[in-house]
Amino acid sequence: MNAPRGPSIRTIPDGDDRERLVCGDCGFVYYENPKVIVGAVCTWDDKYLLCRRGIEPRLGYWTMPVGYMELHETTEQGALREVWEEARAHAVIDGLLAVYSIPEISQVHMIYRARMVTGDFAAGPESLEVAMFAWEDIPWDDLAYPNVRWSLEYERETKGLYGFAPRGRPDL
């Protein structure tokens, strides 16, 4: 008996407009879709929580707590999970800060504005260190990705405001 081949034929399925991997045995179509990234700009006493990445890519650079959304969680739950996993901090979400569509890497980033419940934090398993920064002390030249800068700047711009529109990707 032959083992099933699975989605191994690259073809355009009936009714579709692009190539997909399709199983030649059963016709199953494997859809590759963008990944959803979730995270939060967390503050405590006018300071910003940042994590120094302990994993590649961008090992050693600073970021807000952010990562891939998991199955069976909301984007808010995912953002708060990332805050705990990377910074061992508890936070509450104030609102959706930004949605960045980044087709070059097939990702959609949903970044929330959050307030830490206490000033407690520690490095999680994916962080080398975690720190609170006053605005003027943020390590701007050592931020891991452009979305970190975009999010920090928009959080500062909308501080004290509610009901604002989430920021989209800035023109580059």
Look up residue 86 and give its two tokens: 């990377």
Residues paired with 41 in a beta bridge? 113
Q: What is the CATH number of the domain that holds 69?
A: 3.90.79.10
Look up residue 13 and give its two tokens: 């399925």
Specify whether 87 is located in the same domain as 25: no
- DSSP conformation class of 64: -
Specify whether 107 is located in the same domain as 139: yes
59-101 residue pLDDT tens? 999 999 999 999 999 999 999 999 999 999 999 999 999 999 9
Which pLDDT does position 62 carry in this prediction?
98
Measured distance CA(28)–CA(23) in Å, rounded: 5
Which pLDDT does position 64 carry in this prediction?
98
Residue 170: inside a domain: no
Specify whether 48 is located in the same domain as 99: yes
Residue 146: inside a domain: yes
Specify whether 139 is located in the same domain as 85: yes
Q: Tell me if residue 25 falls in helix, strand or coil.
A: coil
Query: pTM of the full predicted structure?
Result: 0.88
Specify whether 81 is located in the same domain as 123: yes
Which pLDDT does position 25 carry in this prediction?
87
**Burial class of residue 151 (count of CB atoms within 10 Å of its CB; 0-12, 13-18, 19+):** buried
Which pLDDT does position 2 carry in this prediction?
59
Average pLDDT of the segment spanning 147-167: 95
Measured distance CA(43)–CA(86) in Å, rounded: 15
What's the chain's average pLDDT?
Answer: 94
Specify whether 39 is located in the same domain as 15: no
Name the band, by pLDDT with cuts 50, 70 and 90, for residue 6. Answer: confident
CA proximity to 119, closest of 149, 88, 140: 88
Specify whether 13 is located in the same domain as 39: no
Which pLDDT does position 50 carry in this prediction?
98
Which pLDDT does position 5 carry in this prediction?
66
Q: Which domain holds residue 77?
A: 35-158
Average pLDDT of the segment spanning 39-62: 98
- What are the angstrom distances between the C-alpha of 39 and each of 16, 17, 25, 34? 33, 33, 40, 16
Specify whether 6 is located in the same domain as 58: no
Q: Do 49 and 58 form a contact (C-beta atoms < 8 A)?
A: no
Domain count, the chain: 2
Look up residue 60 and give its two tokens: 């050693």
Residue 99: inside a domain: yes
Angle ∠(76,80,84) on CA atoms, nearest 5: 165
Specify whether 45 is located in the same domain as 103: yes
Q: Hunting for tokens 């002390």 — which residue is that?
A: 137
Which pLDDT does position 1 carry in this prediction?
53
10-35 residue pLDDT tens? 999 989 999 999 998 888 999 989 99
Q: Hunting for tokens 């579709």 — which residue is that?
A: 16
CA 65 to chain centre: 8
